[in-house]
Amino acid sequence: MNQELMTLDFWQDTVIYEGKTFPVGTLACDALNVPADTITKMNEQCEKINLLLGMLNAGQDTSALFPMAKEAALTMLEILSKTPPFSYMDIPKHRERIERVFTADNALKYVEFAIKAVTNSLPFEEVPKYADAVMLQRYTAVCGHLAYSLEEYQKAMLDFAEQSDGNEADRTAEGFAKMFGTYFPPEFSITEGNAWMSTLNNSVQYVSVIRPGEKVAKLVKRMHYVSFVGMFRSDLFEGLCVGHAPKKCKICGKWFLTTNARHTKYCGGYAPGDKLHRTCRQIGNLKGREQRELADDHPVKQIYEKRLNTINRYVKRGTLDADLAEVMKKLAKDKMLRALSNVAYAKGAYEKEMDQAALKKEASAKIYKERVKHE
């Protein structure tokens, strides 16, 4: 009955969703990035679909609502197709199903199915004939609650994600477990105003499946959910168990998933507004280089500082003329600045040209040329 819409298969550090394999935690991380204006657009469609859902659950005549509800569901699907993690769904398959099941006839069948199910008068062999009717109710419920569900997930989990983002000391499974224990202490109760933490809205089974792209079956933990908020929360926590966690990019501000203990600061997406279409990681690496160049312990600067100390020492001892020393210092500074902006020079001739004897020779030649010029 369309269970795959909100079903995840967990195996080791991966999760399978609609036939696609991801590092566990990917879906939860992407859900944190859905913009508020996208949720607003979703909600406009949710309101239309909820009219159908209310009347469907009340057993009322819904035939007049179907053109609007069907269009709203398809519009919602179009929004989802451009919005990770929903874009990972098999969009063409769901579009075909919505086109097929959103009919007044299926609405009548669902009311009939619900009455028989409640009164225990539904023979098992009759269940298949209500498949499309039940699928209609399922799509209506999921699409009708989607914006609210997503908003609740972000409201509950963004603060927790910020905490994990700041957990720089130990971005491992053990480190996140310690952080989790601080955020949710042992006495934490899921019954006291924390319904988003409840596990009552999902079911678990273990199945042997051949994962996408593989040939040998694996035993996976399959979880079915009734809402996306439960699905994303579960994916996030399963990710923490193996050391996967959200991290906010220092360039674009979006959340991305880290899967190891490295202190990665930037995502691999395109940097907003960059005319060269570089990724945040590329720009971040350049920023990192700039910061390293400003650091006092930068190798290029260390060579320069060492040479200045030598020159000053020679002047103090009286073994180097003060005027010649000033020219040598000016040359040394020019070479240092050139090395900071020119990697090839820094790795090539820079250190050789900064040798005491080489600098003295070049400075002497420069002074000689200046004298000749003025005579």
Strands 202-209 and 218-225: antiparallel
What CA–CA distance (Å, rounded) separates 181 from 225? 25
Provide the pLDDT for residue 60: 82
pLDDT in the model for residue 290: 53
At 169-226, the pLDDT tens digits run 678 888 888 888 877 766 655 554 454 455 455 788 999 999 888 899 999 999 998 8
Q: Are 83 and 34 in contact (CB under 8 A)?
A: yes
DSSP state of 253: -
Q: Cα separation of 82 and 37, whole Å?
A: 13
pLDDT for position 1: 42
Cβ–Cβ < 8 Å for 255, 247: yes
CA-to-CA separations, 347 to 78, 109, 111, 232, in angstroms, rounded: 53, 77, 77, 49
Tokens coding 109? 């069948």
**Helix 104-118 vs helix 36-57: crossing angle, to nearest 10:** 60
Rounded CA gap, 135 and 130, in Å? Answer: 9
Q: How far is CA 194 from the centre of its chain?
A: 25
Unique residue bearing structure tokens 């009455």: 115
Angle at 154 between CA 152 and CA 156, to 5 degrees: 70
The answer to whether 81 and 91 have CB atoms below 8 angstroms apart is yes
> Residues of 202-228 as b/e, b for ≥16 C-beta within 10 angstroms?
beeeeeeeebeeeeeeeebebbbbbbb
Residue among 303, 293, 312, 313 nearest 352 (CA): 303
- With beta carbons less than 8 A apart as the criterion, state whether 171 and 245 touch: yes
* Residues written for the chain: 375
Which pairs with CB-CB distance under 8 Å and at least 24 residues apart come from 369-374? none
Phi-psi region of 59 (alpha: psi -120 to 50; beta: other; left: phi over 0): left
Measured CA to CA, the distance from residue 131 to residue 138 in angstroms comes to 10
Q: Residue 193's pLDDT is what?
A: 46
- pLDDT by 10s per residue, the chain, length 375: 456 788 999 999 999 999 999 999 999 999 999 999 999 999 999 999 999 988 887 878 888 888 999 999 999 999 999 999 999 999 999 999 999 999 989 988 988 888 888 888 888 888 889 999 989 988 999 999 999 989 989 988 888 888 888 776 678 888 888 888 877 766 655 554 454 455 455 788 999 999 888 899 999 999 998 888 889 999 999 999 999 999 999 889 999 998 887 767 888 888 888 888 888 888 877 766 555 445 555 778 888 889 999 999 999 989 999 999 999 999 999 998 888 767 778 888 899 999 999 999 999 999 988 888 776
